[in-house]
Amino acid sequence: MAAKGTSGVSSSGASMSKYDVEVEARLKALESHSHGGGGGSGDKVDKLIEILNGIKSITDYCDKNADGVRKIEL
C-alpha cells in the first residue's frame, strides 16, 4: 500500500509525489525526442552545419581541417 500523499514509486523503490511522477514523465519524453525519437533530426543538424559553413564570418573562427579549410566539423 502506498503512503499517504504519494502517487508513484521510482525505479529505486522510493515513493514519489504526483509532481515528481509528472516531471519524470516529461524528462523521459524529452530524452526520447532528443535522442532520435523525432526521426530525421540528424539531417536537420547536417543541413544547418552546411549552411553555417557557407558563412565566412562564422568559419573564420573555426579550426582548419586536414585540407587547410576552416569549417565546422562534428
For the question of whether the overall pTM of this predicted structure is more than 0.95, the answer is: no
What is the model's pLDDT at position 71?
A: 93
* pLDDT, tens only, 3-62: 555 567 766 777 889 898 888 888 888 887 665 545 567 889 999 999 999 999 999 999
Give φ, ψ of 20 to 5 degrees: -60, -40
Please give the Cα distance from 56 to 2 (Å, whole number).
61
Cα angle, residue 32 at apex, residues 29 and 35 outer, rounded to 5°: 145
41's grid cell: 533530426
